[in-house]
Structure 1
């Protein structure tokens, strides 16, 4: 997401903080597997990821907090909060191994950079500068890396296309000038684009590479031409949209509203309704959140507020269309520093659990391996805490969603079928509070207890059932095993996340 905020003189650095406290025993709750009501189903690729187009082609992306130069920020403003990154190596064995373990999934290659990216349809050296009307260059080799990555990780590709002046004829009309060669090349190398948004975040078209004065009528006209081309050239590709963000009072700065898009003529029709969600902006963009607020109930539930506006728009304009969240993370502008630590696991898993109950079919996390909000460290690809949370979700949580029937101010409980089994259940219990909770389980189970390694929740080291999670010496994933427990009262420690697997009712 690209929010060109320029008032950055008050940039605030993160102050170290930890969460500690006594752990009094709480009230008992009982899990009743026989009384769980079926709610609905999510896509088998429900948990998915983004790889920014900026990562694929190389360019300016969010600078790590430990490299921020405050003097440059004061003098250079927004530009000083980014650094040049090389194209990501999508053939890296470690990256592929870790991504494969989260599959099957969708991989979305998009972001603001995609709106102005020129596809260089030859095998010559990469152009040093993009042609007029574009800002970035995507080579065949870079795109082949995307296609090969998707094949290697059992992923389906989702993308978006350029919308800048380079795409247009002399009268300013949208043309398939860039889509056609990209699609043709994709087919020649055995690739497939499963789904696409016309362009990334039309809500921010004003600073997202669209022509000056871009409005709902322009969008409708462009979309008509876009859909006409897709229907003939690549009818198997699902058209997603609009992919807007921040409306409903979540984040300001929109230049084109969803209402403006849908009330223009001809009205765009999407097979799948998409939106993006960031609960706020990070410290880079003058965000004022603190690590202590990362566990607030208002913050953890805000993802439902972010959905509400777009769910109402879906119901009004394309009733019955599935909803996908195609870009989300801790906060916009690369995430806060603690997005890379254990404390954000609560937000990550709460978001997956809450949106599954609200009938969102797919959630695409931003990003796989760039900036603080990534699942993996950018340079080393070492797993961050959210990666381990994602791995546990993928291992245990199936596609069928249930109402666990438990209500408690201190913990949140989410229930799915146990992945790969008809009769089993997977129950996720999130305890973001300072008090231990007691839960009664009705039968034998396996537990997967995720906790911080130490008292500081802003740690990048986490434990599973008391053992530190880390890659093996050959950079393979460790065996993820549950701990057998019997039907009984069990204690959910403060600031912990517990997955329970029940093989049969």
Structure 2
């Protein structure tokens, strides 16, 4: 190892040790055997570099009526009805100093922003089986946006806001959406935010509209044009203001051809390429725990990380890769699984694996809401993964080191330079 890394300190992030322990107990009896292995860390060069505020979480739009498999797990978890006076919630966010919060989700492309110059009636989302995504269009009142920003300022959160990218388009029966993005309402909302001196770290265009899309899809070439429109809005509205917010897109599931077409043509108007991950399948899956504890299954997502990294490296864009939303199991996860200790085996491995492929930020679905929140939906008390996220945030430095493990497949190791210059584990040399 390079001595400079030892002097900085080094932290190992060892995943699946508990799984291996369980395997040993089952096969040999408690204390009936030992497991040996060798970890090798190449300390000469970093293979990736994450953001200092790598840990990110999401807040969603889902109203209380959002139910999956007979379970309604959103209650007061939408940022439209979240209890912003909760001291537990405030302290949970403040503990990260800062925590990136991505505000968005499925319903963001059905939202009207009730800015002063918008004359349309502001109505809430209503459940409807005939509507795309199961709800009618909804609205963000500006007084609620004001309340949210007061909370963000107190908590020190860094906000990424997902804009409605479907306005102005025609949605066809074959699932495609055509026409240019009508950005008037989004521009009005951005101008309102700047006028109120609200700090938005980044503006993201659309949610799961790329590739095959969820509900509908937009072609890569059209998305390039729409991203350029967002860039022009940011340039005009934030004129004389530095630093300007990031421009993020497309916030959907990775499709190699679509992402390559998009990034090859979006060379100057994009800061971050975001993608979503639900690699465990539906929350109703009875084999969810088996998947979480199966390293070979979890390895399947590595190709997504590596393919996106290679696309960005070969493209003229300077955009970085983020995981913009990852809940593991879609349709709100599964109670007593995705909000329990066992889920940390999926989550910690995801954080470490994505970092090893030069992902800069990882946004967990959700901070609160569904059965996969870092916080309990009703009490706002931390779930086990909250502590996993906080531990990562405080220990793992920006430089990611090439790490390998020789031994049982159910143990894997990752290493970063320590976040602080003095290591808790390594001797001073």
**What does 1:119-268 correspond to in 2, within 5 Å?**
119-122=113-116, 127-128=122-123, 135-165=137-167, 173-203=180-210, 207-208=214-215, 214-234=218-238, 236-247=244-255, 257-259=258-260, 261=262
Cα distance change of structure 1 residues 324 and 504 upon mapping to structure 2, 3 Å threshold: farther
Cα distance change of structure 1 residues 232 and 208 upon mapping to structure 2, 3 Å threshold: farther
Contact 2:291 2:298 in 1 (8 A): no
Cα distance change of structure 1 residues 312 and 415 upon mapping to structure 2, 3 Å threshold: closer
Structure 2: gaps of 5 or more residues: 1-21, 126-131, 171-177
**What does 1:63-462 correspond to in 2, within 5 Å?**
63=68, 67-68=70-71, 87-122=81-116, 127-128=122-123, 135-165=137-167, 173-203=180-210, 207-208=214-215, 214-234=218-238, 236-247=244-255, 257-259=258-260, 261=262, 269-284=269-284, 287=285, 289-318=287-316, 320-337=318-335, 338-408=337-407, 409-419=409-419, 421-424=420-423
Partner of 1:7: none
Cα distance change of structure 1 residues 504 and 344 upon mapping to structure 2, 3 Å threshold: farther
Could you tell which deviates more after superposition, 189-198 or 338-347? 189-198
Structure 1: gaps of 5 or more residues: 1-17, 69-79, 249-255, 425-444, 446-500
Residue 389 of structure 1 aligns to a residue whose secondary structure is helix
Partner of 1:441: none
Cα distance change of structure 1 residues 302 and 118 upon mapping to structure 2, 3 Å threshold: same
Contact 2:122 2:140 in 1 (8 A): no
Q: Distance in 2 between matches of 1:340 and 1:165?
A: 35
CA RMSD of aligned residues (A): 3.5
Equivalenced residues, count: 378
Contact 2:39 2:403 in 1 (8 A): yes
Q: Distance in 2 between matches of 1:138 and 1:205?
A: 28
TM-score, scaled relative to structure 1: 0.66
Contact 1:196 1:240 in 2 (8 A): yes
Offset, 1:288: 5.8
Q: Distance in 2 between matches of 1:92 and 1:85?
A: 12
Q: Distance in 1 between matches of 2:141 and 2:279?
A: 34
Residue 53 of structure 1 aligns to a residue whose secondary structure is coil
Contact 1:220 1:267 in 2 (8 A): no
Offset, 1:361: 0.9
Write the deviation string for residues 463-501 of structure 1: whole angstroms up to 9, x where unpaired: xxxxxxxxxxxxxxxxxxxxxxxxxxxxxxxxxxxxxx4
Residue 82 of structure 2 aligns to a residue whose secondary structure is coil
TM-score, scaled relative to structure 2: 0.76
Q: Distance in 2 between matches of 1:263 and 1:30?
A: 41
Offset, 1:309: 3.3
Offset, 1:215: 2.8
